[in-house]
Structure 1
Amino acid sequence: MSEIVLGVGASHSTLMNTHWHRVVHTERAEAFRDALDAARRRVALARPDVVVIVGSNHFRGLWLDLVPAFTVGVGEVVAMGEAGTPKGPQRTDPEFARALAADLVEAGTEVAISARLQIDHGQSHAIQYLLGDLGVPVVPLVVNVFARPLPTLARCVQLGENLAEAVRRIAGDRRVVVVASGGLSHRLPWPSDWADPQDDDEAFLVDAWTNGRGEWERYDRRRREIIVAARPTIFPEFDRAFLDDLAGGRLRRYASMTTDELEAVAGNGGQELRTWLVMAAALGFVPGTPLVYAPMPEWLTGMGVAVLDPSEGDQRSASPEPESRLDPLGGDR
């Protein structure tokens, strides 16, 4: 019987690679980088045989011609290598990936499969900073967080729970780490609804998302200019409350939010928090340990890193909750 031995949540941003020299909040940036390194050490200590990376795809491998809610890479996995992230074929475990996808479907989570999946920094940023030179095979699990209609947050929780059950049923004794890549709060300079672009830049991006397969180079320069020119929009109070709920083992409560409600409190980029919910659900929502929170306007994102260790969950769940906290969902806790 295989088992999940660790969960990690980590923000990503290619601007971390390309715009470090423009960072103003240096201490925050260094704290985030150091937290990634601390999380990488935790992954190494967990001695994984395979890492499931739950991440997004920024219209680099999946396009508007076909965007499944959930996609598992079951064969070749090729990283695009944009903005200094890893490039080329990645080490994989096709046998495990195929068994995982089959079991998820049997459990009622109909995932799509890809025998040749192209990933971007939504997955490869985690490979770069959390796996480094560990040489561990990866299984990408791509969640649609950008092309509405999005899978509900409740459906993402169910995916995580079914993921945990599937891992336990897979033959062998693999040690599995689940990594969530994305978030925290941020607003991206693209349409919240691809069918309703509001200006020329948004219309250009929708055109790229629709027609970019096989000819992305002709869109990439202007796309990058649009991203870099964006005005930062971060919601630190929401981010801190989210990490507080992670520490208390309370992330399940976010499953009741709608897509519009999440966008209102965390921005359209905050839809990536679906990946954290998948990971946390796969770990049984055990209380976790936030390693850092760094609001980085230079990178357009509230950057966070957290670790969920099931061997520590029972001890942490016994700790009392603070008497008062910001509640991003409204109402009493």
Structure 2
Amino acid sequence: MSDLVLGVGTSHGPLLNTPPEDWGLRAAADRANRALVYRGAEYPYDDLLALRAPGFAAECELGVRRRRHSACREDIEELGRRIKAAALDVLVVVSSDHKEVFGDELLPQFAFYWGDTMRHEPFTQEQLHGMKPGLAIAEVANVPARSTVRPGHSALARHLIERTSAAGFDPAASRALPPGEWGNSGIPHGWGFIFEQVLGGAETPPTVPVFVNTFWEPNPPSAARCFDFGVALGEAIRTFPAPLRVGIVASGGLSHFVIDEELDRAFITALTGRDSDYLRSLPDAVLRSGTSEMRNWIVVAGALHSSSLTAELVGYEPCYRAEAGTGCAMAFMSWQDETTASAGARKDGS
């Protein structure tokens, strides 16, 4: 039977791939946003700034940005080292599709890609020029320089589809990704970040992509549904009849585009403490906007809940880009055997 030997959680926000000097490109979008989500309510930027007075101007100083960015890059490299050291046969990556692949025609709560290979496509110059300010510089780092075919693991993916279905879930199954936003059927940035940034763009292990609709109404799954799906996913991996070493990754989060450090720290404590009651009870009102990507971490926590692996925070950096507290809280975590867990951990950078 297969064995889950490693878990990883990583943020993938655009600031990670953006020089700190350019973080203000996205801050301009924040200041124009009249529906910034914070603790279940929506605020225009100026109202949010008044609510969070005296604000976060000190956090937006260039020296602080540089320190946090450097720490995040070190943590990404550390996660890459841990994945490579685990000598995995397969990587299961749980992330959210920003309507890059699945659109309004069909938005499944959970979906598996079970093809033998997947396309990982670069952007055209026209596509990059059409992106919102501050996104192209980040997104180009999540794709290869040329069209690339990455290996899947169709046998394991089909087994996961069948076993989670038998457990009472109804995942969608895609053997050929739709053309999607970019018209090329390429794997989206939540997975591309793992391939290019965490693993360095090198040869990647066979990967099973798991899509979670974290963002889009009317059918994002509840926190409880995500955790329970994760439990079923973990059990399905362990019953696959081949001696595979399997790793599982959550890609996305934590709180954004309004940072909530209190929420993040409580969430991290629940992950490291196996507090399933807390994870299952997070309200839908909190899991909105980019913060909704915590659902990916909840799925992975469910998959690893019964394992003997130890959860460890590698690093946490709240990366502020505007005075009202907008930006992205970056977190990096692994679940490993106790004997290998703490060598490269840096933990909280606040």
**TM beyond 0.5:** yes
Question: Which residue does the alignment assign to 2:13?
Answer: 13
- For residues 158-197 of structure 1, the aligned pairs below 5 Å read 158-187=228-257
Q: How many residues align?
A: 265
* Residue in structure 1 matching 2:120, options 50, 74, 79: 79
| Contact 1:18-1:84 within 8 A present in 2 as well | no
Compute the displacement of 1:168 (Å). 1.4
Q: With the length of structure 1 as denominator, give the TM-score of the two structures.
A: 0.74
Contact 1:36/1:129 (8 A) holds in 2: yes
Q: What does 1:106-255 correspond to in 2, within 5 Å?
A: 106-117=166-177, 118-132=186-200, 133-148=202-217, 149-187=219-257, 233-255=258-280
1:243/1:257 CA distance change after superposition, 3 Å: closer
Counterpart Cα distance in 2 of 1:103 and 1:49: 20
Shift of 1:19: 4.1
Closer/same/farther in 2, CA of residues 120 and 19 from structure 1, 3 Å limit: farther
CA distance in 2, matches of 1:241, 1:287: 18
Is 1:307 the counterpart of 2:334? The answer is: yes
Asked if the contact 2:313/2:333 (under 8 Å) is kept, the reply is yes
Shift of the alpha carbon at 1:80? 4.5
Instruction: Tell me the distance in 1 between the aligned counterparts of 2:234 and 2:151.
Output: 22
Q: What is the SS of the residue equivalent to 1:32?
A: helix
Paired residues for 1:36-115 under 5 Å: 36-75=76-115, 76-81=117-122, 82-87=139-144, 88-115=148-175
* Equivalent-residue separation in structure 2 for 1:16 and 1:169 (angstroms): 36
Query: Kindly tell me: are residues 256 and 160 of structure 1, through their superposed partners in 2, closer, same or farther at Cα, counting changes over 3 Å?
Result: same
| Aligned partners of 1:64 and 1:147 also within 8 Å | no
Please report how far the alpha carbon of residue 20 of structure 1 lies from its aligned counterpart in structure 2 after TM superposition: 4.6
2:267/2:279 contact within 8 Å kept: no
Partners of 1:171 and 1:62 in 2: CA distance: 31
Higher helix share: 1
3-state secondary structure, aligned to 1:51: strand
Deviation at 1:121? 1.1
8 Å contact kept, 1:246–1:287: no
Paired residue type of 2:298: L
The answer on whether the counterparts of 2:141 and 2:196 sit within 8 Å (CA) in structure 1 is no
Instruction: Assess if the C-alpha contact under 8 Å between 1:93 and 1:137 holds in 2.
Output: yes
Where 2:80 maps in the other structure, the secondary structure is helix
Which shows bigger deviation, 271-280 or 88-97?
A: 88-97
Give the letter aligned to residue 273 of structure 2. Answer: G
Deviation at 1:94, TM superposition (A): 1.4
Aligned partners of 1:121, 1:301: CA distance in 2, in Å?
16
Q: Percent identity at matched positions? A: 33
Preserved contact between residue 119 and residue 149 of structure 2 (Cα < 8 Å): yes
- 3-state DSSP of counterpart to 1:156: helix
Distance change >3 Å, CA 28–CA 251, structure 1 → 2: farther
In structure 1, the gaps of 5 or more residues are: 188-232, 317-333
Once the two structures are superposed, residues 147-197 of structure 1 have per-residue CA deviations (whole angstroms, 9 ceiling, x without a partner) of 11211111111111111111111111010000000100003xxxxxxxxxx
Q: CA deviation at 1:296?
A: 1.1
Moved more, 272-281 or 101-110: 101-110
**What SS is found at the alignment partner of 1:4?**
strand
Q: Which amino acid aligns with 1:9?
A: G
* SS, match of residue 12 in structure 1: coil
CA contact (8 A) 1:249 1:287 kept: no
CA RMSD of aligned residues (A): 2.2
SS in 2 for 1:184: coil
Matches within 5 A, 1:250-329: 250-260=275-285, 262-263=286-287, 268-284=289-305, 287-298=310-321, 300-309=327-336, 311-312=337-338
Q: Secondary structure of 1:90's match?
A: strand
Residues 234/33 of structure 1: CA separation in 2 closer, same or farther (3 Å cut): same
For structure 2, the 5+ residue unaligned runs are 24-61, 123-138, 178-185, 343-350
| Alpha-carbon offset, residue 251 of structure 1 | 4.7
Q: Output the amino acid matched with 2:207.
A: V
| Structure 2 length-normalised TM | 0.71
The structure-2 alpha-carbon separation of the partners of 1:146 and 1:80, relative to structure 1 and needing over 3 Å to count, comes to farther
